[in-house]
Structure 1
């Protein structure tokens, strides 16, 4: 067991929450569930599986997670950033424990893990295989950057180690929920882009890989013309990253995750540029 608290944000996750919490048993000292209004058995099941429950109105992911860091009485050295549809297999947990012991007393303040991403029951091995995030960081040195979409875990000092083993990400309930969620993401992505264009100050990020990803997004991808960039991204992931080898499931995921989603973001950027006005406050939590 490591000296860590897992923070999990939920709304209507009764399908996922039990297995998520079970994957933390014997590994994290404590699990905190921050719910934003579940109407199913999520809270009941989380309590039954030993989680501490908190309620907080949802605005966007980073703000909700950072609220959890500051308001749930965390006294462990490490924080685990975990979604309800994510699991830590045993080999990954063993690797993390060994890494923490090996690097005790160093400036290793974060741990980055890649995902085995499952969509419509299939593990995607090609186009989407490199999705990863910093899932553990020391409370004294880490936080979630203040962005509405694609918010990275960031360190104020030190470095992160990348694990060889992967976590499991079951990124699918049904198409209705998936499409609704991506539409919700697209509005937040538009808001982040507009704030960036208007000169919003960026967080200071110690992790060079995360900074490189942000630079590619805002200084390369967004320099291409609207809509064309979504098409080019789809071609890159589906063809050049061999996403077509994942069959129909791969085609569907890459289409929605790149072409459809990024096209929708550009449409919302164009709409905002034409109409202006204040950002819509989105309080839904899915």
Structure 2
């Protein structure tokens, strides 16, 4: 059985230099690019990927477009900042030709943040449904943190994806600012705009602090050292920004 890998990109040259070499075992690599100005497209083609250049349709729309272009019996959906570990590559090499009993598989993910593999605080194994038979799954429509929609029995593999989302603090802040904006739009669409003052305090102050306490202390995030402390502290700030921005969106709608 053949395997296609689907990736979406926008100025991912640095990440692809790490990702593409880990995919040499795949039968096909599909890259859907949305206007990169660096060498993303040239680099992808140099590794034999089939590259399509399309306008941005949102995370889910773009990923579904990449999936639709795959011709393999199985599809592995990757983010550009993820790579396939040698253990996972070997497991796929054995599993796929054996006509697997399930139509979809979860993959554990190692998150390497600020240069450190984060093993605690809910960040490992961080399993994601990413491997599925062609036609069995798609990404559900969400502005951010899109997930695969699948109905049926699934299983989980042992080999891991390795994820490099935030090499630096500056990268983290930039991403969280963007994601909190998208997250706030989703909250506003759901009517979660914290109109009451006590609700505002709960969502913007208390909820993030409780999240910080839970992940850093009770889920042992402190065992990941300085990197763990910064990650959970800044992630709590992200949650605060998201609810504060949702309140701001709601305030503007009332004013208009």
Q: TM-score, normalised by structure 1?
A: 0.79
Structure 1 equivalent of residue 30 of structure 2: 32
State which of 208, 212, 221 in structure 2 corresponds to 1:234: 212
- How many angstroms apart in 2 are the aligned matches of 1:182 and 1:67? 25
Structure 2 equivalent of residue 133 of structure 1: 128
5 Å-filtered alignment, 1:159-170, equals: 159-170=153-164
- How many angstroms apart in 2 are the aligned matches of 1:175 and 1:38? 23
1:118 aligns with 2:117: no
1:64 aligns with 2:66: no
Structure 1 equivalent of residue 76 of structure 2: 80
For 1:15, what is the secondary structure of its paired residue?
Answer: helix
Structure 2: gaps of 5 or more residues: 193-198
Shift of 1:151: 1.1
The answer as to whether partners of 1:18 and 1:49 remain within 8 angstroms in 2 is no
- How many angstroms apart in 1 are the aligned matches of 2:14 and 2:189? 35
Task: List per-residue Cα deviations over 1:66-93 (Å, max 9, x = no partner).
Answer: 12223x3x22121111011111112112
| More deviation, 173-182/52-61 | 173-182
- How many angstroms apart in 2 are the aligned matches of 1:235 and 1:25? 42
- How many angstroms apart in 2 are the aligned matches of 1:174 and 1:87? 18
Change (3 A) 1:246 1:173: closer
The answer as to whether partners of 2:108 and 2:161 remain within 8 angstroms in 1 is yes
Flag the structure with higher helix content. Answer: 2
Structure 1: gaps of 5 or more residues: 199-221, 278-286
For 1:22, what is the secondary structure of its paired residue?
Answer: helix
Q: TM-score, normalised by structure 2?
A: 0.88
Shift of 1:256: 2.1
- How many angstroms apart in 2 are the aligned matches of 1:255 and 1:101? 45
* Runs of 4+ with deviation above 4 angstroms: none
Structure 1 equivalent of residue 248 of structure 2: 271
Q: What CA RMSD, in Å, does the superposition of the two structures yield over aligned residues? A: 2.1
The answer as to whether partners of 2:166 and 2:172 remain within 8 angstroms in 1 is yes
- How many angstroms apart in 1 are the aligned matches of 2:48 and 2:211? 42
- How many angstroms apart in 2 are the aligned matches of 1:96 and 1:118? 22
Aligned residue pair count: 245
5 Å-filtered alignment, 1:167-246, equals: 167-197=161-191, 225-227=202-204, 228-246=206-224
